[in-house]
Amino acid sequence: MKRLLLLLSALALWSSESFITEGEYGQMLYENPRGIGCVHCHGKHGEGALIARYKEEGRAVELRAPDIRKVPLRKLKSSLLRRHRVMPTYFLTDKEIRAIFHFLHEEES
């Protein structure tokens, strides 16, 4: 019995150490979403960033990724499932999108 308790507490310790929050999971996905990381275009915290500056017909043009920290979950989902002009298409599950959402909103506070 004592041995069993020892084993159980060792397991509990192990699982508490390997536990990550949904926000941490979301940050991992934000940085490495099986494709180019959101972080490269939307910035470290989702605040948006400049992707490129170029000239079009003599005019200076700036290509920016928008701030996505206040985007509601529904819009985040629809946006990730849609085709975009610049942003790549991702194949993320509902759970993964929700984790990214948590990360973006934890960062906000």
Q: Which residues bind ligand HEC (CB under 6 A)?
A: 33, 36, 38, 40-42, 51, 65-66, 68, 71, 76, 79-80, 84-88, 90, 100
Query: Between residues 17 and 62, which has the closer beta carbon with respect to ligand HEC?
Result: 62
76 and 65 Cβ atoms separated by less than 8 Å: no
Quote the least distance from Cβ 93 to ligand HEC, whole Å.
12
CA-based nearest residue to 39, from 56, 51, 57, 21: 51
Q: How far is the CB of 54 from ligand HEC (least distance, A)?
A: 14
Q: Is 101 exposed, middle or buried (0-12, 13-18, 19+ CB in 10 A)?
A: buried
In the complex with ligand HEC, the residue whose CB is nearer, 68 or 102, is 68
Cβ(39)–Cβ(30) below 8 Å: yes
Query: Min. distance of Cβ 20 from ligand HEC in angstroms?
Result: 18
